[in-house]
Amino acid sequence: MSDLIHVEQLEVFGHVGVTENERSKPQRLVFNLTACPRENFEEMNDDIQRTLNYSALCAAVRDFVRAQSPKLIETLAANLAAHLLENFPLRKIDIELRKFVVPDTQYVSVALSREAKS
């Protein structure tokens, strides 16, 4: 079993949507992230330099999302996963991305899991 770090309901405002009108102003997006660091917790020996800096991870998500303007939340989630795997010491990342756009629903979401290349 892998050791995991979970970030629940990271709120970010970004431009995403099929229509220009939908992308014209920032929308509320919520991310749930589950990250599997490259090292198990015991191997970290209580050294912050050896773990996943989850504050930096959240900042990277915010910066990445704010710099994008895709049509699909599927594209945004996939590109974000690739970005995080490339820039953080991760074995795996699970992302759920929620968008609040469809009337009479709480949200619409996409979810994915990606693993680092060996």
pLDDT digits (tens, 9 = 90+) for 19-77: 888 888 999 999 999 999 998 898 888 888 888 899 999 999 999 999 999 999 999 99
Specify the amino acid at residue 31.
Answer: F
Question: What pLDDT is stored for residue 71 in this prediction?
Answer: 95
71 and 62 Cβ atoms separated by less than 8 Å: no
Percent of the chain with pLDDT over 70: 99
Question: Which residues, 6+ apart, have CB-to-CB distance to 91 below 8 Å?
Answer: 2, 36, 37, 38, 115, 116
What are the boundaries of each domain within the chain? 5-115
Question: What pLDDT is stored for residue 1 in this prediction?
Answer: 58
To the question of domain 5-115 being in CATH 1.10.150.120, the answer is no
Query: What are the φ and ψ backbone dihedral angles of 11, each rounded to 5 degrees?
Result: -95, 130
Longest dimension (CA), the chain: 50
Q: What predicted TM-score, i.e. pTM, was given to this entire model?
A: 0.93
